[in-house]
Each structure stands twice: as structure tokens, then as C-alpha cells.
Amino acid sequence: MTEVPPISVNDDDREAVDKERAELREFVTGLSADDIKSGGWFTRLCGQALRSYTEKATWEYFQQKYEGVPADGIAGQQIKLAAKYAMIAGGISSSLYAGTVAATIGTLGGASPATVPAGVITFMVDLTYISQLQMRLAYDVAVIYRIPLDLDDPEDMMKLVRVAFGIKAGEAARSSLKFVPGVVRQVLKKYYSGPVLAAARSLPFVGRHLLQRNVIKFAIPGVGIPLTILMNRYTTLAAGRHAKSVFRDDAEVIELADTLIRRTQHPQLMLWIAWLVINSDGKITDAERLLFRQLTRLARERHQVDDEQLANVVNIDADEVWHRVDAEPGDLSDVVHAAERVGTVDGDLNTQEKVVIAEVRDRCQRR
């Protein structure tokens, strides 16, 4: 028998889980067999789970709830709480099954597009509960580290989904094109519009991925309850810890951008130097992209620097940058320091970055 770790549950915990599950049962009963098989259920869940939640889960809310606790401590508490709720939900769900659910899910193949077997509804309540819990947890962690996520921005929306469920960048977009039936397109148009629609087309892939991942919890006779509790706990802890790692790193990048802009006396030149360093190896990482986006925003807000010429650059010309260095009076040690910090934002310096930074250092010193 699989050993279940001890868990302290009070009436409030159980009531909170029961309330969410009741709301999700109503949601699940509105799904069709096609919604479930295609993964379209996840698209609809995103529309329900996040829109109203984001109004409550603000940085001010967490500061008030955990007054005086640093961000790392608040994130840890939220992850621990989510894992507890996941275990409670796992115990409730698995106790409702008399047999395995794998065969029950299989009955969807013979179901009419509009009907869903009762056993599948019970399974889907567990799946939607855990999916919603982990998405909200990832969003909580982003807010705690003061990472702005605009859920109307397709890039931000997909980043949240990838972080919450460990989906590799690009994987959902490549796979989703294989199955976008008419019913899913209708759902997408109902819940999303404009540029978000493009990102939303990736969401059915995530729904199918989560469906397959969760069937195993109920597929082994005799250990259903312990296995379900443990898997719910494990996947939720993994989601929370991954979110903490990703958004904490993002927070460090944003903090670096703030420091560089605050200390420089040459914000416009620094942007050109930073972009030259970032492009030196022919690829741009997520950390570099985030850093430069923050640098340009802060330069515009604090120094009224809005460089249209830089914004229109396709291939940055090193000679143009060196010309700007030569034309700039005064001590440029702040620019050299910025180049060095930009180069290491995504790890150790590579050969190309070292060459460009050495050139920056040399030209700034011998003017």
C-alpha cells in the first residue's frame, strides 16, 4: 500500500475544497464529450478560472495576508496551502470510484457528442479542480514576485500555462494544429477574441496532455485513494516550485533592469550597447528579452528616452554603436558595467559575448 504523508485538515479546508468542486461540477456538466476528448475543456476552464480570480489575487492582498513576510516566504506558504487542498481533493475524488476510470474514459469514444458518462464527470471534476488550482497557484507566485501578467496578452497567457503545467515553449503551438475541430473554434471565439485567439488555439493541446496525465491516478486497482492523494500533492508541489523558480528569476531580471537604469548617466547609449551584447551570439533568450523590454520601458518612463531608430533596427550594426560611443562625452564606466551585467543575465558569458564586451570596454576607456 502506498504511504500517504500526514496532513492536517480542518473544517474550513474541507469546506473550501467542497465549494470549489461544487462549482466545477456545474461547469463540467456543461461540457460535451467532444469538449473533453479534444481538450477544449481546458480552453473553457481558462476563461472561467482566471478572469475573476485575478481581481482578488493582487500583490496588496498577499502583503496584507502575510504582513512582513518576504516574497520567498509568501510563495512557500501558498505552495504548501495549494498542496494541502490538492490532497484533500484527491481523497474526495478517489473515494467516489468503485473501479478504474481508464475504462470509463474510454467510453467517451462511443458517447454522443453531447453526452458524458457519469463516471467521466466525476473524473473531470477532479481534473478541472487540480488544473484550476495549479494555474491559480502559478498566477499567485507571479503576483508575489511582482511579475506583471496580462492575461489579455497571448504571450503572457501561454507563459502562465507553460509554467503551471511544465509545457515546453512551442510544444503546444506545434501540436495544437493537428486538432482544432469546429466545436473548439466556436469555444475559442466565445471566450477569446483578437490576438488572444492565436494563443488560445494552443490550449486544447494542454487539455489533452492533462487528461492523459491524470488518468493514471485512477488506473491501478487497490491503491486508488493513496495514489490519487500523492499524485495531486506531487504535481501541485512541482507546479508551485517551478513557478517559484521561473518568476523569481524574472524578478531578479526586472530588479537588474531597475538598477542599471537608476545608475546610468547614459540611458540611450546603454540601450544600444545592451542590444549589441544581446545579439552578439545570434540568439535571444527569454531572460535577455525580458531584460531589454524592462530597460526600454524604464528608460522611457524615467529618462524620456524613446529611441525610434533603435526600435526599427533589424540587424544591429556594431559600427553605429561605436560611433555613438565616440560621440558621448564623460565617463562611460556605467555603460561598461551595464554591458557586463547584460551579458551574464542568462548565465556565464559565451565566446561571442566576451569579444563584444571586451570591445565595449576598450572603446569606452580609450576615448
Confidence of residue 91 (pLDDT cuts 50, 70, 90): confident
Average pLDDT of the residues in 121-141: 92
> Taking each helix axis from N to C terminus, what angle separates 224-263 and 267-278, rounded to the nearest 10 degrees?
130
Give pLDDT, residue 279: 96
Confidence of residue 193 (pLDDT cuts 50, 70, 90): very low
DSSP 282: S
Burial class (CB in 10 A: 0-12, 13-18, 19+), 15: exposed
Does residue 49 carry a pLDDT above 60? Answer: yes
Write down the mean pLDDT value for the chain. Answer: 82
- How far apart are alpha carbons 31 and 21 in whole angstroms? 15
- How far apart are alpha carbons 289 and 244 in whole angstroms? 19
Does residue 223 carry a pLDDT above 50? Answer: no
What pTM value is reported for the model? 0.79
Give CATH for domain 264-366: 1.10.3680.10
Average pLDDT of the residues in 197-218: 68
Give pLDDT, residue 158: 86
Cell numbers linked to 308: 525610434
Confidence of residue 1 (pLDDT cuts 50, 70, 90): very low
Average pLDDT of the residues in 26-33: 89
Query: Which residue would you say has higher pLDDT here, 91 or 65?
Result: 65
- Give the model confidence (pLDDT) of 314-325 as tens digits: 999 999 999 999
Query: Which residue would you say has higher pLDDT here, 179 or 123?
Result: 123
Give pLDDT, residue 2: 45
- How far apart are alpha carbons 74 and 69 in whole angstroms? 6
Give pLDDT, residue 210: 83
- How far apart are alpha carbons 141 and 109 in whole angstroms? 38
Confidence of residue 173 (pLDDT cuts 50, 70, 90): very low
Give pLDDT, residue 186: 46
Q: Residue 250 CA to chain centroid, in angstroms?
A: 11
- How far apart are alpha carbons 346 and 288 in whole angstroms? 7
Give pLDDT, residue 80: 95
Average pLDDT of the residues in 100-118: 54
CA contacts within 13 A on the Cβ side of 294: 23
- How far apart are alpha carbons 45 and 90 in whole angstroms? 19
Is there a contact between 107 and 250 (Cβ–Cβ < 8 Å)? no
Average pLDDT of the residues in 153-166: 86
> Could you tell me the residue ranges of all domains in the chain?
11-248, 264-366
- Portion of the chain with pLDDT greater than 70, in percent: 77
- How far apart are alpha carbons 277 and 340 in whole angstroms? 9
- Give the model confidence (pLDDT) of 252-309 as tens digits: 999 999 999 999 999 999 999 999 999 999 999 999 999 999 999 999 999 999 999 9
Average pLDDT of the residues in 129-135: 94
The SS3 assignment for 304 reads coil
- Portion of the chain with pLDDT greater than 90, in percent: 52
Does residue 170 carry a pLDDT above 70? Answer: no
Range of lowest pLDDT (145-149, 181-185, 267-271): 181-185
Average pLDDT of the residues in 4-27: 80
Confidence of residue 52 (pLDDT cuts 50, 70, 90): confident
Confidence of residue 100 (pLDDT cuts 50, 70, 90): very low
Q: Write down the residue that cell numbers 557586463 correspond to.
A: 340
DSSP string, 221-281: TT-HHHHHHHHHHHHHHHHHHHHHHHHHHHHHHHHHHHHHHHH-S-HHHHHHHHHHHHTTT
Confidence of residue 214 (pLDDT cuts 50, 70, 90): confident
DSSP string, 123-186: HHHHHHHHHHHHHHHHHHHHHHTT----TTSHHHHHHHHHHHHTPPTTHHHHHHTT---HHHHH
Give pLDDT, residue 192: 40
Confidence of residue 97 (pLDDT cuts 50, 70, 90): low
Give pLDDT, residue 196: 43
Is there a contact between 291 and 257 (Cβ–Cβ < 8 Å)? yes
Average pLDDT of the residues in 29-38: 86
- Give the model confidence (pLDDT) of 330-349 as tens digits: 899 999 999 999 999 999 99
